[in-house]
């Protein structure tokens, strides 16, 4: 299968497994990813996901142009009916960590941009190179990149197609951590298990409040955060958290 999927300790590990093609996305892997993200969204035993690629060379290089069939209908028909097959399914309140183990270019970087946390190996490189082949980063790249890093840097990447290194990505705030390639999955697992051990409703509320608040005036965002705090106040998990703290033991959160 072009995508490996495993759930362990409430963490879903989603691994692009086409190293011979730099983990590029073919029709089979796109369909499998759509099914996986649906499972992640609906399975209560999954609290956080880690998205990575197989091998040291590439996280994902976008669409595999050699395997994509020619269109059988006009773009308007397919887009208005199906939309984008992957990224909307990644829009969930369960966090997703991108563990970027090499080149993340084109649609591969756009996959990473759809995640909440991005960490990278020291050999990783990032780019939206579509202008070099008379195309466009049409999933989320033109919108997300200028929102995540300084606009001048984002525009330079978009207009020239130049790539940046892991150290540059860390400096610009595109990723949170850089580590040795052999330690990348270990770091991703540590982050994921920390998130999975927290109260799941609180984690999802924190993500929702932060993401939606970015599109609100500050006062509205603060009011929304207070509302979400109120929704969490009477949960069983909050009672368990206070009780565990008083008893000096790890809490046993159930998502209720």
Residue 229, domain CATH:
1.10.12
* Average of per-residue pLDDT across 177-204: 97
39 is catalytic: no
Residue 88: pLDDT band by 50, 70, 90 thresholds? Answer: confident
Alpha helices in 126-197 (DSSP H): 141-148, 151-160, 166-172, 184-197
Q: Indicate whether 85 belongs to any domain.
A: yes
The answer, as to whether pTM is greater than 0.85, is yes
Q: Indicate whether 254 belongs to any domain.
A: no
Residue 63: pLDDT band by 50, 70, 90 thresholds? Answer: confident
Place of tokens 């020619």: 70
Residues 99 and 226 in one domain: no
How many domains is the chain built from?
Answer: 2
Cα–Cα distance measured from residue 105 to residue 63, given in angstroms and rounded to the nearest whole number? 10
Residues 47 and 77 in one domain: yes
Tell me which residue range forms the domain holding 210. 199-247
Catalytic position from the list 6, 20, 35, 110: 110
Signed CA dihedral, 60, 61, 66, 68: sign only:
positive
Residues 122 and 168 in one domain: yes
| Residue-level pLDDT at 72 | 65
240 is catalytic: no
| Residue-level pLDDT at 194 | 97
Q: Are 184 and 101 in contact (CB under 8 A)?
A: yes
Domain boundary among 196, 216, 234: 196
- For 65, other C-beta atoms within 10 Å of its C-beta total 11
| Residue-level pLDDT at 86 | 79
Catalytic position from the list 6, 20, 28, 130: 130
Cα–Cα distance measured from residue 152 to residue 166, given in angstroms and rounded to the nearest whole number? 18
Q: The tokens of 249 are what?
A: 């033991």
Residues 164 and 114 in one domain: yes
Q: Indicate whether 135 belongs to any domain.
A: yes
């Amino acid at each position: 299968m072009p995508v490996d999927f495993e759930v362990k300790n409430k963490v879903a590990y989603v691994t692009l497994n086409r190293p011979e093609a730099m983990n590029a996305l073919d029709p089979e892997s796109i369909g499998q990813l759509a099914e996986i993200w649906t499972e992640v969204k609906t399975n209560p035993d999954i609290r956080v996901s880690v998205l990575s690629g197989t091998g040291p060379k590439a996280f994902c290089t976008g669409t595999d142009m050699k395997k994509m069939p020619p269109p059988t209908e006009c773009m308007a028909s397919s887009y208005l009916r199906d939309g984008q097959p992957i990224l909307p399914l990644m829009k969930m309140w369960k966090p997703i960590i991108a563990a970027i183990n090499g080149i993340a270019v084109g649609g591969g970087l756009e996959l990473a941009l759809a995640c909440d946390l991005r960490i990278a190996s020291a050999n990783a490189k990032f780019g939206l190179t579509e202008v070099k082949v008379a195309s466009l980063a049409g999933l989320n790249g033109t919108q997300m990149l200028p929102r995540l890093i300084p606009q001048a840097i984002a525009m330079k990447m978009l207009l020239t197609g130049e790539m940046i290194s892991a150290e540059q990505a860390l400096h610009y705030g595109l990723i949170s951590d850089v580590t040795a390639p052999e330690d990348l999955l270990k770091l991703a697992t540590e982050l994921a298990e920390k998130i999975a051990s927290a109260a799941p409703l609180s984690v999802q509320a924190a993500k929702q409040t932060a993401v939606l608040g970015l599109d609100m005036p500050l006062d509205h965002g603060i009011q929304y955060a207070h509302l979400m705090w109120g929704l969490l106040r009477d949960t069983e998990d909050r009672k368990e958290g206070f009780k565990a703290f008083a008893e000096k033991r790890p809490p046993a959160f159930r998502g209720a």
